[in-house]
Amino acid sequence: MKRWVQWTVLAAAFASTLGLAKAQDIKIAVVGPITGSAAALGDQMKRGAEMAVKDINARGGALGKRLDLILADDACDPKQAVAAANDVVGKGVVFVAGHACSVASIPASAIYHGARVLQMTPASTDPALTDDAAKAGWNNVFRSCGRGDAEGAVAGKYLAYHYKGKRVAIVHDKTVAVEGRADAAVKAMNAAGLKQTMNEAITQGDKDFSALISKMKEEGIDVIYYPGYATEAGLIVRQARDQGLKAQFIGFSGLLTEAFWKITGPAGEGTLMPSQPDPARSLRGLSSTNSGPKASIPKASRSTPTPRSRPSRKRPKRPNRSNSTICQKRCTR
């Protein structure tokens, strides 16, 4: 919510310098996959934006003006994304929260740059989105999520640390963002000493993964890493369990949707996925010790405990700096 306030105020200020915010309301837009295979992400964007705008307007708006929210559907399709971008720009928006998919955000970003509209994506992880914008000297393109290469690297290190000697299958759907995450995971995993047993590609929109799962069973796969979207991920998990493959499934942060659970049912229990660090833990000053790269990999659960429900932890007594062996090895004076 706080980030929404900051960005809408910034958008309004940005527009004021262009003479675009003279009307009573400040027009902003959410553009994402309201339809299509990634519609669960679009629904999250829509509901979150509506709640934020309602709250901001109830508090007096931004710079004394009310926010007028416009919704547009890109279906995670590049051509439809460009059409949606032109549509909201034509309606006079000064800020766009979107798009969700990198294949949509990248072509749309050129439209927003040309119209001098601020764009902030909550889910497009392809590094090319911001890297290319920076190379071109654009100053209007931002992301509030992690980069795919960083998330993939975390997953790769996790795989190497926790599944040493195990048989790992890497799967992607041939899209730029998903394949990019998979490649980053492979690179990090290989560098840490673990080689993948399988590296397979599926097609986004596929429904039957029985052949892929049969191959995994023949190879004795212990772990499946698929950093793709909820629909395909859910189907792979459910069909793997139906065929008796009990391999650990590791996805990516995009699986944090109800759509995943609707497909998997109980079969989704135990799924792992990289995510942002728990802010509550950071605020309490807690940190992981020498237990490997695990803090960023939450387990999917229907009843994740809140910070208040976790048992309190007593901080260990700080060792004497002058005599402590730990301090001599780890502390900086």
pLDDT tens track for 224-274: 999 998 999 999 999 999 999 999 999 988 888 888 999 999 999 999 988
- Per the model's pLDDT, the better-predicted residue between 278 and 296 turns out to be 278
- Cα–Cα nearest to 252, from 166, 126, 72: 126
Question: In Å, what is the CA distance from 92 to each residue of 29, 67, 140, 333?
Answer: 10, 12, 16, 56
Burial class (CB in 10 A: 0-12, 13-18, 19+), 146: middle
Asked if 44 contacts 87 with a C-beta cutoff of 8 angstroms, the reply is no
Asked if 49 contacts 120 with a C-beta cutoff of 8 angstroms, the reply is no
Average pLDDT over residues 50-78: 95
Q: Is the pLDDT of residue 99 over 60?
A: yes
The rounded distance, in Å, linking the Cα atoms of 187 and 161 is 14
- Domains annotated on the chain, with CATH: 2-143 (3.40.50.2300), 148-302 (3.40.50.2300)
Average pLDDT over residues 206-221: 97
Q: Does the pTM exceed 0.75?
A: no
CA R_g for the chain = 22
DSSP one-letter code for 315: P
Question: In Å, what is the CA distance from 52 to each residue of 85, 140, 302?
Answer: 21, 21, 25
Average pLDDT over residues 274-292: 55
* Amino acid in position 305: P
Q: Residues 124-168: pLDDT tens digits?
A: 999 999 999 999 999 999 999 889 999 999 999 999 999 999 999
Give me the pLDDT at residue 10, please.
52
Average pLDDT over residues 65-89: 97
Give me the pLDDT at residue 51, please.
96
DSSP one-letter code for 304: P
The rounded distance, in Å, linking the Cα atoms of 301 and 273 is 11
Give me the pLDDT at residue 23, please.
52
Asked if 53 contacts 29 with a C-beta cutoff of 8 angstroms, the reply is no
Give me the pLDDT at residue 18, please.
47
Average pLDDT over residues 104-125: 96
Give me the pLDDT at residue 294, please.
45
Question: In Å, what is the CA distance from 272 to each residue of 83, 142, 162, 253, 294?
Answer: 36, 27, 12, 9, 11
3-state secondary structure of 325: helix
Give me the pLDDT at residue 321, please.
40
Mean of pLDDT over the chain: 83
* Amino acid in position 258: E
- Per the model's pLDDT, the better-predicted residue between 14 and 237 turns out to be 237
Across the strands, what pairs with 168? 223
- pLDDT-based confidence at residue 11 (cuts at 50, 70, 90): low
The rounded distance, in Å, linking the Cα atoms of 126 and 173 is 14
- Per the model's pLDDT, the better-predicted residue between 126 and 276 turns out to be 126
Q: Which residue has the tokens 């497009």?
A: 124
Give me the pLDDT at residue 79, please.
97
Give me the pLDDT at residue 17, please.
46
Going 147 to 290 to 221 to 189, the CA torsion angle's sign is positive
Give me the pLDDT at residue 301, please.
43
- pLDDT-based confidence at residue 304 (cuts at 50, 70, 90): very low
